[in-house]
Structures are given as structure tokens and as C-alpha cells.
Amino acid sequence: VPNSPADDVPQGADEGDNVEVKVWGDKPSFDFTPVEHYEIASVKPGMDFETASKTSGARFVMLKGGVARIHRALAQFMIDTHVDENGLTEVNTPVLVRDEAMYGTDKLPKFGEDSYQTTNGWWLVPTSEVPLTYSVGGDTLEQSALPIRLTAHTLCFRSEAGSAGRDTAGMLRQHQFEKVEMVSITHPDDSDAEQQRMVGCAEGILEKLGVPYRTVILCSGDMGFGARRTYDIEAWVPGQNCYREISSVSTTGDFQARRMNARFKPEGGGKPQFVHTLNGSGLAVGRTLIAVLENGQQADGSVLLPEALAPWLGGRREITAEGVLV
């Protein structure tokens, strides 16, 4: 049985009924027809799908040279921002987890087919939400310990069983990808405000990078199994001439807490209560790379990079038309 939506969640059947709540940034204007990330001349040498297909099959990529460095810089920029400015605690988590962790974070049994399981029973994490959230599974916390705010940069693994034929070109939808995740464990009275804070953290990354985006609240029919309320943040990708999801920020209320028996002791006494858990991408690294490359592309095939990223790139601000990071 899925979670019940919050009262302010719009009723609807699918993504067509989601409601736009914010639009930020001016879409870049080009005097040429912008192309998708994998078609940009300077990017092609550093985005090798052919070799990845040889080693691993479809929906994999090998990033090389400057493109690989930009991808790594984006992840470091995100983590450092969340730790230094947003007050999250960095965690280096396992990417192999037990059944209990997947069940407690509502990934089992419903989404088992979309995840990878090893022959000896571990699951490869579909998101670091799983180990971060389950870190309080079975615990009874002191109220004074709340909120707990965590972030992690990990590999994520998804079979994309329900996405056959969708987004097959480029690196938009991969079996293996990197994501910076945010998780908050809160007092029930604070979870709605915490969700707004987390949305702001995710939006802030895109604003620092100068990537236009919009934020939508998902309708009841488009939300995930365990979500009580979800905001999607969608980055503008000129090559596709549309917005694409780059972050999803959800509150589950006490849905996950009940599944994994995570409670806290009220300061005023009384029996332990269930915590509230929240999670959100902060952000998907590969999709952020796509957005940065497509918004920064130039007519000669070069790419201008965000100024905010320069400290993580040794001051470099551009991929030349020849594919050199300078």
C-alpha cells in the first residue's frame, strides 16, 4: 500500500497534471541550432559510448579527459556546497546493502525489478538514500539529535526495467550513474519546513552554475510509492528544447520510519514517536553535466563553463573546439 499524499498535493493522473511553482533563469539564446550533449564537437572525444558498450553493453558511458574532470568537479562542488554552506554532514556509504535496508526505504518489494541484486544477496544501491536513511533504522533517537542532515556522493545502479526505448541516446538514462544525495531525519512538526529547505539547497546548486530550471510539485498520480509530497527540479536542456528532471525532493512523513522502526524520545516525556524522513538529489551528477554542457555550447563546438566551477577545475573555464580544457 503506497503512502497517502499530503493535503496540498494536487490531484491528478500523470505528469501532465503536475503544477509549476517556480521558474528561474533566462534560457540562453543561440544564433545557431543547439545540439544535444553527445553531439557537441568538443565533447565527443571525452564521451565514449562505443568503448563502454564493448565492455558493458547499452546505457553505459566512459568519460575521458576534460569531460571526466568536469564531471568529477561537479560532484565535488555539490558536496562542498552542501557541507560548507548548507550544513549537511558528509557520509561515505556502502553501495551494497541488505534486504532490510531496501525494504525499510520502500524500495522493496515494489521496485525489486528495477534494482540489481548480487548472487550472495546484497543489493546495489539505486540511490544513497537507502544507506543514509536506513542508518537510523531500528534506532530510538533523542529529540535533541534532530534534525539529522546527511549528504553522500555515490555510484547508483538501476536496471531501468520500465524504461525500454526511452532516452537511449546520450547519457541521460544510465544503468550506472553518480548522484549527490541529501537525506534529513526530522521531528514530525519540522518536516514540511525541512522539505522546503532541501528544495532550496538543490535549486541553489543550479543557480550557482547559472543553469535555468523550473520546480514543479508532483500530482498524486505521479508521485513515488513512499512519497507524501514531491517537488521535481527540472533543468533546461537546449539540445532537447525542454526541461528535464535533475532532482526530486520528497518527504515520506513517517512511512519509511514505520517500515524501519526509527523513533525518537520526546523531550517532554511520553512514548517514543516515529521520526519523519526526507530525501532529495543534490544533484544527479551526469544530468548536471548534460545541462552545463548544453547551456554553455558555442557555435564553433566549444563550451563555456560556469565560473562557479572554476575553483574545482584549477581555474579552467572552457572546453576548446578541439576538446582541450583550458
- Known catalytic residues are 158, 173, 245, 248, 287
Which residue in 264, 281, 271, 254 sits closest to 104, CA to CA?
Answer: 254
CA 161 to chain centre: 19
Within 10 Å of residue 110's Cβ, how many Cβ atoms? Answer: 12
Contact (Cβ atoms closer than 8 angstroms) between residue 189 and residue 254: no
Count Cβ atoms within 10 A of the Cβ of residue 169 and give its class: 0-12 exposed, 13-18 middle, 19 or more buried. Answer: exposed
CA dihedral 148, 18, 179, 306 (to 10 degrees): -110
φ, ψ (nearest 5 deg) of residue 230: -135, 135
Enclosing H/E stretch for 282: strand 276-284
Contact (Cβ atoms closer than 8 angstroms) between residue 244 and residue 172: yes
Contact (Cβ atoms closer than 8 angstroms) between residue 9 and residue 217: yes
**C-alpha–C-alpha distance, residues 277 and 299, integer Å:** 46
Helix (H, G, I), strand (E, B) or coil at 209: helix
**C-alpha–C-alpha distance, residues 318 and 66, integer Å:** 10
